[in-house]
Chain A
Amino acid sequence: MSIMGTRVVRTEDPLFLTRGATYTDDLVDDRLAGALHATFVRSQVAHGRLLSVDASAAREAPGVVAVYTAEDIDLDPLPAGLPMVPPAMQRPWLARDTVRFVGDLVAVVLTEERYQGEDAAELVAVDIDPLPAVVTTADAATDKVLLFPEAGTNVMATFGEPAPANFFDGCEVVVTQPIVNQRVAAVPLETRATAAAWGEDGRVTIWCTNQGAQQAKGEIAGWLGLDPAQVRLITPDVGGGFGAKIGADPEYAFVAWLAKQAGRPVRWSESRSENLVGMLQGRAQDQVVTIGGRRDGTVEAYSLQIDQDAGAYPRVGLVLPTLTMLMTSAVYAFPKVHSYARALATNTTSIGAYRGAGRPEATAAVERALDAFAAEIGMDPAEVRRKNLIPKFDEPYTTKSGATYDTGDYTAALDRVLQAAGYDELRAEQARRRERGDDRQLGLGMSVYVEITGADTGFGAAESASLEVHPDGTATVLTGTSPHGQGHATTWAMLASEQLGIPVEKITVIHGDTDRIPRGGGTMGSRSLQQGGAAVHKAAIELVDLAKQRAAEVLEADPNDLEVDLASAGISVRGTPGTGVTFAQLAEKEPLLVNTRFEAAGPTFPFGAHLAVVEVDVESGKAELVRLVAVDDAGTIVNPLLAEGQRHGGYAQGVAQALLEEVLYDADGNPQTSTLADYPFVSATELPSFELVDMVTPTPVNPLGAKGIGEAGTIGSTPAVHNAVVDAVSHLGVRHIDMPCTPMRVWRAIQHAQQGGAN
């Protein structure tokens, strides 16, 4: 029986459950013996002139080995990164004249022990003359206060052109809705951490918590002006990433530089409050959607305008609108689609990737727009969707926004989820509660989504894998992907086991070490299985071919008469199992090893539909999610246990964005959510158990038929829950509530509507 599609429990778990995983801060390594601790001093002011940094008292504190300020650094500033960004928008390693966000690096202290670093950092006297802070994209766009006066603008980049004035001409109904896709924090439970040690050979080994060792290595070498061959980067076990651990962080490179200066290894592990101001954050788009069409429910034109808050310094967040724009058409066959975006600098933490990275923002916009359109024409939102969905297709389908989808059946996904949820009965119950005027009103919200995964725009279409069988019958897989909870060790072993017959527990999967795996794209954008897994699959097939050639000599047979014998994990003569030679025996004579590379023919487009049921207390405004029913079609599933786990985790994060989570700043740019006591991280009590509906539409793009699954849950659930909350109070006149739908926001929307205001 094939192991594919079976619920194999994880091989990594026994260690994780008895001794714990080994995260960067857990490392015990001879190379790190006697390591110093780095403690960063960060700006407490969002925007200001840096008048002085006095480190004299800190330098005298117990355990202090060195304190660095801007004048002690001879490194070139971090580059603005992308060609469209004004070159003046570069970031110094330590602030020199200006601080630009609360969390900007001002100084760094090296001490013998961690507690001493906290003490000494307190003694660094930082004098800042505050400037007006730019906190919103609306303020940034006025250019009245400039973060980089030399650039002459706060606009980091623009994409496309505004919609022509006549874009909606001829539509019977046109609805325009501003939508805030709020800033959220990734909050992996393991905060950022790194360690660096230089060897006598002039090479530096850097350990850090990261989603892709090879990319991080390249960035660090570039920033520090090192030959890439001088850098070895290792990602040990990683305690969650969610996109925020893609690429190097300046702190990682800096710690490597400090280790060189100090002539000793250096470690850094940040606190949670440091993480909540220093790590890249996500989403942060101010959108305006306009949707126009006929009263029969047909949409004729749709436009999306985006102001991306990019934060203080240019990072990957500034280009995320391009993904949002690519996915503007979503699952709909709208005849006319338009999008336009700007990325703006503000005195806030920089924006990067967060689970879905640019794609959830596209789905959230269009799904909210469709509900607004449905409300305007008085039609059931499911009906409006059915009228506009792209019909089932098996051949590539190119959208108006320029994406070419592989396979899809969106109507089936919607119908399955509505059927599983009992949609008609839920609507009847909603009507009864409205009729009675219950305090707890029912809201139904749906979304139909498609996302792009494994795209070669920045994620990398190719992936490396190597596979070796050892004489003792075990095997080793090297992969360029980089798991941080996804369970690659188990799934990649399943893919090799499927071809070779070697049991999963005898296959070791190694990742995240650039000396052992020079090429790799890491784990991001839901690319791992469809590219890294496909590479392992290909490596296993190539290893079988190699083994057949070797076995032909041993068995004195024609290679064409040989076949894999899964039962004995070897090669046998066709039709006579057990008579051949095992892979282990072949490996005794000479190494049985293949290195390969798989390049996908293109990205894939997983899709699905979610139905959320909420109860809203109209007296208090509190919304509670009571059911979430979801179809997530990611093509062929290798390990359903792990795929379901990915879906659950995605739902939680998506629901949390709709109901709870938000990074907040005051008008002066002071973060209001810089601890987990303030940041509303979702706990077990706010969530129900989830109802999963299966649907499988394989992709022809890779031999596994697999699409990405890591971000699906997040993308579908946010608009479903958001729409459900608005739906629960729509009979009171509410048309829109911005996320997160907190009790205060919902209550205010109800009050406003009842006083006759439009939302």
Chain B
Amino acid sequence: MQVTITVNGQQRTDDVEPRLLLAHYLRETCGLKATNIGCDTTSCGACTVIVDGLSVKSCTVLAASADGATVTTLEGLAGPDGELHPMQAAFRSEHGLQCGFCTPGMVMAAIGVLSDNPDPSDREVREGLEGNLCRCTGYHNIVRAVRTAAQAGPSAGQVPA
């Protein structure tokens, strides 16, 4: 079947199997490999992307059901001149990543957290990120990164149009 999806600002039309997961569509069909798959049960959140303004786990969404949607992945965050999104910059400055596997999903989920609540407490950040697992950082620096990004203002909770 045919789907038309706007991915990181570019509209594209592809022929896909009806059962194809959005995560695999992004990785294999679009060649956007930042979005990772870490579990089969929507538990780890490594595949989190932003679909029509909401952070969602792309391993539970069919590409078919994203027909007509606007999707932003990690690759779509930085500016055209390479300028990091405030959330990317905060993850770097606070050492909020180690192996990097959870990072794309974590960054997208963190943007979702600030989108809902621009000035969260530590506890609110932790609750907002509960669906995203990290094995390396102990979450300590991820929480700091989200708080640091919040100081950059409302842009930290938004993705580029």
Which residue numbers of A lie inside 8 Å of B, CB to CB? 9-10, 12-14, 16-23, 26, 28, 115, 187-191, 237-240, 242, 271-273, 484-487, 641-642, 644-645, 648-653, 675-677, 681, 683-685, 687, 689-690, 713
Contacts of B99 in A (CB 8 A): 21, 188-190, 237-240, 484-485
Residues of B within 8 A of A16 (CB): 97, 100, 103
Q: CA A181 – CA B98 in complex, angstroms?
A: 27
CA gap between A484 and B93 in the complex, in Å: 19
B:80-105 near A, CB below 8 Å: 82, 84, 88, 91-93, 95, 97-104
B122 → chain A closest CB, angstroms: 7
A18-B82, A115-B17, A240-B101 known, 12 other contacts, Cβ within 8 Å: A19-B74, A20-B74, A21-B99, A188-B135, A238-B99, A642-B95, A648-B137, A648-B138, A648-B141, A652-B138, A685-B126, A687-B126
- Report whether A18 and B77 are in contact in the complex, using a CB–CB cutoff of 8 Å: yes
Q: A676-B39, A676-B43 are in contact. Are A23 and B101 (CB under 8 A)?
A: yes
- Interface pair B137/A649, CB less than 8 Å apart: yes
Q: List CB contacts (< 8 Å) of B13-30 with chain A.
A: 17, 19-20, 27
Bound state CA distance, A486 and B99, in angstroms?
7
Chain A min CB distance to B49 (Å) = 12
Measured between beta carbons, the chain B residues less than 8 angstroms from A21 are: 99-101, 103
A19 and B34 form a contact (CB under 8 A): yes
Q: Which residues of B contact A9 (CB under 8 A)?
A: 92-93, 95
Please measure, in the bound complex, the distance between the C-alpha atom of A187 and the C-alpha atom of B129, giving whole angstroms: 19
Q: List the 7 closest A-B pairs by CB distance, nearest first.
A: A20-B34, A239-B101, A485-B99, A485-B98, A648-B138, A652-B138, A676-B43
Contact B84 A17 (CB under 8 A): yes
The residue that B129 contacts in the complex, of A20, A239, A644, A684, with Cβ under 8 A, is: A684
Q: Inside 8 A of B31's CB, which chain A residues have their CB?
A: 28
Partner of B33, one of A18, A22, A271, A644: A22
Min Cβ gap A198→B in Å is 24
User: How would residues 59 to 81 of chain B score, 1 for a CB under 8 Å from any chain A CB and 0 otherwise?
Assistant: 00000000000000011011000
Give the interface of B toward A (CB within 8 A).
Answer: 17, 19-20, 27, 31, 33-36, 38-41, 43-44, 46, 74-75, 77-78, 82, 84, 88, 91-93, 95, 97-104, 107, 122, 125-127, 129-143
Contact among A18, A641, A676, A681 for B78, CB-based, below 8 A: A18
Contact A271 B101, CB 8 Å, known A19-B75, A115-B19: no
Question: With a CB–CB cut-off of 8 A, which chain B residues contact A23?
Answer: 36, 101
- Chain B neighbourhood of A641, CB < 8 A: 95
Residues A189 and B98 in contact, CB atoms below 8 Å apart: no
Q: Are A684 and B75 in contact (CB under 8 A)?
A: no
Q: Which residues of B contact A645 (CB under 8 A)?
A: 95, 98, 136-137, 141
Report Cα–Cα, A239/B97, bound state, in Å: 11
Given A28-B31, A189-B36, answer yes or no on A13-B41 (Cβ-Cβ < 8 Å): no
Interface centre among B41, B100, B141 (most CB of A within 10 A): B100
Asked whether B40 lies within 8 Å of A13 as measured between CB atoms, the reply is: no
- Shortest Cβ distance from A646 into chain B, in angstroms? 8
Q: Is the CB of B102 within 8 A of A189?
A: yes
Q: Please tell me if the beta carbons of A13 and B92 are within 8 angstroms of each other in the complex.
A: yes
Some 20 contacts from A to B, beta carbons below 8 A apart, are A9-B92, A17-B97, A18-B84, A19-B34, A21-B99, A28-B33, A237-B100, A239-B38, A239-B99, A240-B101, A272-B41, A272-B44, A485-B100, A487-B98, A644-B95, A645-B95, A645-B137, A677-B41, A681-B135, A684-B129
- Give the contacting residue for A189; candidates B44, B91, B126; CB below 8 A: B44
CA distance A609 to B104 in the complex (A): 34
CB-based nearest A residue for B102: A189
| Nearest chain A CB to B134 CB, angstrom units | 7
CA distance A677 to B139 in the complex (A): 19
B-side contacts of A191, CB under 8 Å = 38
Residues on A with C-beta less than 8 A from B91 are 13, 17
Cβ contact within 8 Å between A684 and B93? no
Specify which of B95, B138, B143 lies most central, judged by the most chain A CB atoms within 10 Å of its CB. B138
The residues of B that contact A487 with a CB separation of less than 8 Å are 98
Please give, as numbers and ranges, the residues of chain B lying within 8 Å of A20 by CB-CB distance: 33-36, 74-75, 100, 103-104
CB distance from B139 to the nearest CB of A (A): 4
Q: Is the interface of B mostly helix, strand, loop or mixed?
A: loop
| Separation of A191 and B102 alpha carbons in the complex (Å) | 12
CB <8 Å contact, B19 and A651: no
Q: Which one of A189, A242, A684, A713 has the greatest number of beta carbons of chain B within 10 Å?
A: A684
Cross-chain contact of A240 among B19, B107, B136 (Cβ < 8 A): B136
Q: A17-B88, A20-B74, A649-B135 are in contact. Are A272 and B19 (CB under 8 A)?
A: no
Residues from chain B with Cβ under 8 Å of A649 in the complex: 98, 135-138
Q: Is the CB of B125 within 8 A of A17?
A: no
Q: Which residue of B lies closest to A676 (CB)?
A: B43
* Closest chain A CB from B20 CB (angstroms): 8
Say yes or no: B44 contacts A676, CB within 8 Å.
Answer: yes
CB distance from B156 to the nearest CB of A (A): 14
A13 to B93, CA, bound (A): 10
Contact A18 B75 (CB under 8 A): yes
Residue ID in chain B nearest A641 by CB atoms: B95
CB distance from A491 to the nearest CB of B (A): 12
- Contact (Cβ within 8 A) A13 B97: yes
Contact residue among B40, B98, B125, B132 (Cβ-Cβ distance under 8 Å from A271): B40
Most buried by B among A16, A19, A28, A650: A16
- Cβ-defined contact, A190 with B39, below 8 A: no
Residues of A within 8 Å of B40, CB to CB, are 271-273, 675
Closest B residue to A484 by beta carbon equals: B99
C-alpha gap A212/B35 in the complex (Å): 25
Q: Is the CB of B43 within 8 A of A239?
A: no
Residues in B neighbouring A690, C-beta threshold 8 A: 138, 140
Chain B residues contacting A17 (CB-CB under 8 Å) are 74, 84, 88, 91-92, 97, 103, 107
Q: Knowing A26-B33, A28-B31 are in contact, say whether A189-B97 is a contact too (CB < 8 A).
A: no
A730 to chain B, nearest CB (A): 28
CB–CB A189/B74 < 8 A: no
Residues of B within 8 A of A677 (CB): 41, 43
Smallest CB gap from B122: residue in A: A689
Please determine whether B138 and A687 come into contact, CB atoms closer than 8 angstroms: yes
Cβ–Cβ contact A190 & B41, under 8 A: no
CB-CB under 8 A from A189, the residues of chain B are 36, 38, 44, 46, 99, 101-102, 133-135
Query: Are the C-beta atoms of B95 and A187 separated by less than 8 Å?
Result: no
A275 to chain B, nearest CB (A): 9
Q: Inside 8 A of A684's CB, which chain B residues have their CB? A: 125-127, 129-130, 132, 134, 139, 142-143
With contacts A19-B75, A685-B126 taken as known, whether A272 is within 8 angstroms of B38 at the C-beta atoms is yes
Contacts of B93 on A, CB cut-off 8 Å?
A: 9
Closest Cβ neighbor of B91 among chain A residues: A17
Q: What is the chain A residue whose CB lies nearest that of B103?
A: A16
From known contacts A17-B97, A240-B101, infer whether A676 and B138 are also in contact, taking CB-CB under 8 Å. Answer: no
Bound CA–CA A687/B125 (angstroms): 12
Question: Complex Cα distance A156/B7, Å?
Answer: 55
Give chain B nearest CB distance to A214 CB in angstroms: 20
Q: Would A675 and B43 count as touching, CB distance under 8 A?
A: yes
Inter-chain CA distance A273–B41, complex, in Å, is: 9
Cα A188 to Cα B135 with chains together (Å): 6
Partner of B36, one of A115, A190, A238, A642: A190
Contacts of A239 on B, CB cut-off 8 Å? 36, 38, 99-101
Residue of A12, A21, A191 with most chain B CB atoms under a 10 A cut-off:
A21
